A and B are shown apart, each in its own frame.
Chain A
C-alpha cells in the first residue's frame, strides 16, 4: 500500500523568505503527483500536477519537483506572503484511480 509522508508537519517563516516543503512516498510506480493547499475548514485548491514523465512544474512563485526513483517531491515557494498561510498537501496516484494523500504541512507566514 502506498504511504505518503510530509515533513515538517508545521512550519513558520517570516514574510519574504523562500521555503521548501517535502513529500515522500513509498512506491515509486506512480502515474502522477498533485500538490494542493487547504485553508481551515475548506476544500482543497489544486496548485500543481506533475506527470510521472516530468521532473518539475512551475506556476508563478511555486515550483514543484519530482524524483520518482527516490520517492520524493518538493514544493518550493518563493518570496512567501502572509496569504500563503495554509496547509499544503501532496497526493500521489499509482497506476489506478485512487490518490493517496499525506497529512500535510501547516505553513504560517509571519508579516
Chain B
C-alpha cells in the first residue's frame, strides 16, 4: 500500500516566481491537508481539501492556493514567492471519522 507521495523532493526558485507542489494521498483517503514547516518550528496549517473544495484555511495569504482532483490528489500553488516562503511543505491525507493524518516526505522549497 503506497503511502502519501509528494513531488518534487527539492525545489529552488527565485523571488517573484510561482511554484506548484503535488501530493497523492494514501489509498482510501479522500481528504488532503497542506502544511508549511519552517526550520525548528512545528507545521503550520495552510488549508484542507475535501471533495475538490477548500474546506478550511489557515492564516495564509491568497498567494497560496490549491486544488484537489477527482482522484483525490492535490496541488499547492504559491505565487509571487518571497524569501520567507522558504520551508518544508508537507502534505497529509486522512479520512473520516478519525481524520488520523498520514504525512508525505515533504517538498523542500528554497527561495533565493
Binding site for B on A (CB under 8 A): 4, 31-32, 34, 36, 41-46, 49, 51, 89, 91, 93, 96-104
Binding site for A on B (CB under 8 A): 4, 6, 31, 33, 35, 40-45, 48, 50, 55-56, 58, 88, 90, 92, 98-106, 108
Given A42-B105, A44-B43, A89-B42, the answer on whether A98 and B56 have CB atoms closer than 8 Å is yes
Chain B: interface secondary structure? strand
Please tell me if the beta carbons of B103 and A46 are within 8 angstroms of each other in the complex: yes
Given A96-B56, A99-B45, A103-B42, the answer on whether A41 and B99 have CB atoms closer than 8 Å is no
User: A44–B99 Cα gap in the complex (Å)?
Assistant: 15
Q: B65: shortest Cβ distance to chain A, in Å?
A: 17
User: A45–B58 Cα gap in the complex (Å)?
Assistant: 22
Please tell me if the beta carbons of B56 and A97 are within 8 angstroms of each other in the complex: yes
Please tell me if the beta carbons of B45 and A41 are within 8 angstroms of each other in the complex: no
Chain A: interface secondary structure? strand
Interface centre among A34, A36, A51, A98 (most CB of B within 10 A): A98
A-B contact pairs, 13 of them (CB 8 A): A34-B101, A36-B103, A43-B6, A44-B92, A44-B101, A44-B103, A46-B100, A49-B100, A51-B98, A97-B33, A97-B50, A98-B58, A102-B42
User: A93–B43 Cα gap in the complex (Å)?
Assistant: 13
Given A97-B55, A98-B45, A98-B56, the answer on whether A32 and B99 have CB atoms closer than 8 Å is yes
Complex interface: chain A residues within 8 A of B102 (CB): 46
